[in-house]
């Protein structure tokens, strides 16, 4: 039984897998880590192995607590992965992207796959039918766009995310919603179109915190999977055991 720990920009996620089956997940703030770790160990006493993504945000004593109880794998650029990585700067490639590409191997091996992770940033990752990772793109996510409009201008307010009903805003607020949300939607559809022109058999995966909001608006056909990153982390752990 495996424990997956994903330390994100905003929240920490715990997931428990029995082989490749997700049986439990929870999300909480970093401050709750110690309490939640003790709780999940008590709830799942058969936990044996653990993988940690983004360990740099954990304190040393928190990492030591994991090492004491479980077989620990810290995901980094040197970790063995189930694909050929041709990224020119592998040391700078985010561990979340390594996990997402690994999940595509688990679920869509020998397919041309574009993975779109819509979170704090929107990342695009492309892997060929030969299981060769090429690279992708990084752009600001929805919340970053709202915040940048507020932080970098004198008069624009910070708004909560809202899906606009029409593209032509008739107030400052509706104009911001249109620019941010429709801008992201058109960006994603445009990227998918560009890849599809070259790879007609392309499989597109959409994941991340904003996946649900965006999946209802995109014109292109996609597979939405909110657990894709967790599945990839578990697969890497299994692959290294």
Q: Which residues are catalytic?
A: 96
Rounded to 5°, the CA angle 40-24-81 comes to 95
Rounded to 5°, the CA angle 201-203-208 comes to 165
CA-closest candidate to residue 118, choices 191, 211, 213, 222: 211
- Would you say 218 and 114 are in contact if contact means Cβ atoms under 8 Å apart? no
- Would you say 127 and 105 are in contact if contact means Cβ atoms under 8 Å apart? yes
Residues in the chain: 241
**Any residues with CB less than 8 A from the CB of 68 and at least 6 apart, and which?**
none
CA-closest candidate to residue 202, choices 193, 190, 212: 193
DSSP SS3 for 160? coil
**Any residues with CB less than 8 A from the CB of 53 and at least 6 apart, and which?**
4, 5, 6, 7, 75, 95, 96, 99, 229, 233
């Amino acid at each position: 039984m495996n424990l997956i720990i994903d330390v994100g920009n905003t929240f920490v996620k715990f997931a428990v897998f029995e082989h490749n089956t997700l049986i439990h997940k929870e999300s909480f703030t970093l401050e709750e880590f110690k309490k939640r770790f003790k709780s999940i160990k008590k709830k799942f006493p058969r936990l044996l192995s653990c993988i940690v993504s983004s360990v740099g945000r954990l304190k040393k004593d928190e990492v030591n607590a994991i090492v004491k109880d479980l077989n620990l794998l810290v995901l980094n650029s040197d970790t063995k992965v189930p694909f050929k990585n041709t990224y020119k700067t592998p040391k700078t490639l985010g561990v979340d992207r390594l996990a997402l590409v690994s999940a595509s191997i688990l679920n869509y091996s020998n397919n041309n796959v574009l993975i779109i992770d819509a979170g704090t940033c929107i990342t695009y990752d492309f892997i060929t039918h030969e299981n060769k990772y090429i690279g992708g793109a990084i752009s600001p996510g929805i919340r970053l766009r709202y915040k940048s409009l507020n932080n970098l201008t004198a008069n624009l307010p910070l708004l909560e995310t809202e899906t606009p009903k029409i593209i032509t805003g008739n107030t400052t607020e509706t104009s911001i919603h249109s620019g941010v949300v429709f801008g992201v939607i058109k960006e994603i559809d445009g990227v998918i179109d560009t890849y599809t022109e070259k790879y007609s058999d392309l499989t597109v995966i959409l994941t991340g915190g904003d996946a649900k909001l965006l999946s209802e608006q995109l014109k292109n056909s996609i597979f939405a999977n909110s657990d894709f990153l967790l599945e990839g982390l578990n697969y890497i752990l299994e692959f290294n055991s």
